[in-house]
Amino acid sequence: MNAKEFFGAALRIIGVIVAGQGLLHVINSGLGVLGYFTTQRTAYSFYLITGLMELVAGLYLLRGAPPVMRFAYPPDAETEPGDLATKEVTAEETRS
């Protein structure tokens, strides 16, 4: 695996974690409305809104976040810094 594949895998792992946290918040908002727990200063809609935002962000990262991947690894940069192909310069090329 090269660095680009590791970066993509890391984005997807973070996406799973964020989506799971968002799903937990959405479930907690539903449980709060049903009366399983009470909050003193936080509305249940807060859990729903943050949960939905986290869920959307997590699913986006899980899909690979193409703009983030293109920003980190532009399409024209196919080689890694350590894998740059060096061309041997011959004596004839240096004269011309």
Type and span of the H or E element at 58 = helix 44-62
Per-residue pLDDT tens over the stretch 14-66: 999 999 999 999 999 999 888 888 888 888 888 899 999 999 999 999 998 99
Query: Of 14, 1, 6, nearest to 57 (Cα)?
Result: 14
- Identity at 39, one-letter amino acid code: T
Output DSSP code: residue 83: G
pTM value is: 0.71
Per-residue pLDDT tens over the stretch 67-91: 999 999 888 755 555 554 545 555 5
Confidence at residue 75, expressed as pLDDT on a 0 to 100 scale? 85
Q: pLDDT band at residue 6, thresholds of 50, 70 and 90?
A: very high
